[in-house]
Amino acid sequence: MMNNIVKLSKEVKEALRENKPVVALESTIISHGMPYPQNVETALNVERIIRENGAIPATIGIINGKLIAGLTEEEIDYMGKTKGILKVSRRDIPYVCAMKKDGATTVASTMIIAEMAGIKIFATGGIGGVHRGAETTMDISADLEELAQTNVAVVCAGAKSILDLGLTLEYLETKGVLVLGYQTNKLPAFYTRSSEFDVDYRIDSPKEIADIINIKWDLNLKGGILIANPIPKEYSMDEELINKSIEQAVNEANQKGIKGKALTPFLLSKIKDVTEGKSLESNIQLVYNNALLAAKIAVEMNR
Ligand code: PSU
Ligand code: MN
């Protein structure tokens, strides 16, 4: 779908025209998920990793009301250091476009723009999900609804226990979203390699994952697929330390009454402070690991 609101960079447009593998990347992780300058460094390294593995990166974001697939290095830097860039999920897109604002895209809105552009796979760190206490707050990320309806496969490192992992999996099951574990039977918990919850299927090769994704859409089964890729062992965190830190962050958020779209960024930044930056290092490494896997799957999908 080409209109004057969706803009593809020249490189991304050409790659898609020539049927080359392209991997989408989000920008909320840049503007709201990590501090400057690590956010920009990470975003640029992710693009390099994707290129080194035979695919073209398309970092997605909103600048001056335009939905862009393929932000330039300068634009990524701008997204990383500018204060007050809006966090944009599905509901926010029309406002940001009409008011010609800048926006960082979440998993949900990145999927939407990727699909508009014709990009089929997307690498990120963690998805949003069902928050702890959602049975009273109803705080369930729009990312889950997007996975139910938009045809983009998402590679992530599982979900972190700022969320209720069990309820998140139940929600995905209800919505018909397949959750694959890459070389694991357990749902990874972002900072650590496993949790007490099983994925739907363990798959050991990028080729098999690519086949599953292609067949889903060949059959016209709408919606995404979630590929859960555990953080590399050497960067995984001590379970007790991370669980305690998450507990502390969740309690503080409750005390301060932080809710809505501010909650996830608040928790991430609190956890980073409490772990003295250790969580940030793990976060960066798991994103690299996901970019690598997404590039491999993208290459296989196009064979
Ligand atoms: N989890 C992370 N880092 C992030 C996010 C989640 O570890 O940056 C971001 C993603 O952009 C995700 C969004 O789509 O938070 C979910 O926000 P919410 O829970 O408000 O839907
Ligand atoms: Mn929410």
Ligand 1 atom 1: the closest Cα is on which residue? 126
- pLDDT, tens digit (0-9, with 9 covering 90-100), for 127-153: 999 999 999 999 999 999 999 999 999
Say yes or no to pLDDT of 298 above 80.
yes
Nearest ligand to residue 87 Cα = 1
Q: SS3 helix, strand, coil % of the chain, rounded to 5?
A: 50, 15, 30
The verdict on whether omega for the bond into residue 37 sits within 30 degrees of 0, i.e. cis, is: yes
Handedness of CA 121, 75, 289, 106 (dihedral sign): negative
Q: In the numeric block, which tokens belong to residue 228?
A: 């859960």
Q: What is the pLDDT of residue 161?
A: 85
Q: What is the pLDDT of residue 3?
A: 80
Q: How confident is the model at residue 76 (pLDDT cuts 50, 70, 90)?
A: very high
Q: Is the CB of 47 under 6 A from ligand 1?
A: no
- pLDDT, tens digit (0-9, with 9 covering 90-100), for 61-75: 999 999 999 999 999
Is 26 designated active site?
yes
Average pLDDT over residues 9-32: 98
pTM of the model: 0.97
Catalytic pick among 26, 47, 146, 300:
26
DSSP-assigned beta bridge partners for residue 22: 56
Q: In the numeric block, which tokens belong to residue 161?
A: 């226990």
Number of folded domains that form the chain: 1
Q: How many CA atoms within 13 Å lie on the side-chain side of 265?
A: 19
- DSSP per residue over 94-128, as a string? HHHHHTT--EEE-HHHHHHHHHHHT--EEE-S---
Average pLDDT over residues 13-28: 98
Ligand 1 atom 17: the closest Cα is on which residue? 128
- The answer to whether 171 and 129 are in contact (CB under 8 A) is yes
Q: What is the pLDDT of residue 225?
A: 98
Catalytic pick among 7, 13, 120, 160:
160
Is 81 designated active site?
no
Q: How confident is the model at residue 55 (pLDDT cuts 50, 70, 90)?
A: very high
Say yes or no to pLDDT of 2 above 70.
no
- pLDDT, tens digit (0-9, with 9 covering 90-100), for 229-265: 999 999 999 999 999 999 999 999 999 999 999 999 9
Q: In sequence order, what are the residues at sequence separation of 6 or more whose Cβ sits closer than 8 angstroms to the Cβ of residue 68?
A: 7, 8, 9, 60, 61, 62, 75, 113
Query: Complex ipTM, two decimals?
Result: 0.99
- pLDDT, tens digit (0-9, with 9 covering 90-100), for 175-226: 999 999 999 999 999 999 999 999 999 999 999 999 999 999 999 999 999 9
Is 282 annotated to bind a ligand? Reply is no
Is 194 annotated to bind a ligand? Reply is no
DSSP-assigned beta bridge partners for residue 88: 105
Q: In sequence order, what are the residues at sequence separation of 6 or more whose Cβ sits closer than 8 angstroms to the Cβ of residue 83?
A: none
- pLDDT, tens digit (0-9, with 9 covering 90-100), for 165-180: 999 999 999 999 999 9
Q: Is the CB of 264 under 6 A from ligand 1?
A: yes
User: Which residues span the domain enclosing 117?
Assistant: 2-301
Q: What is the pLDDT of residue 17?
A: 98
Is 83 annotated to bind a ligand? Reply is no
Say yes or no to pLDDT of 1 above 80.
no
> Residue 35 is part of a domain; what is its CATH number?
3.40.1790.10
Q: Is the CB of 141 under 6 A from ligand 1?
A: yes
Is 143 annotated to bind a ligand? Reply is yes
- pLDDT, tens digit (0-9, with 9 covering 90-100), for 84-95: 999 999 999 999
Ligand 1 atom 2: the closest Cα is on which residue? 126
Rama region for 226: left / alpha / beta (φ>0; ψ in -120 to 50; rest): beta
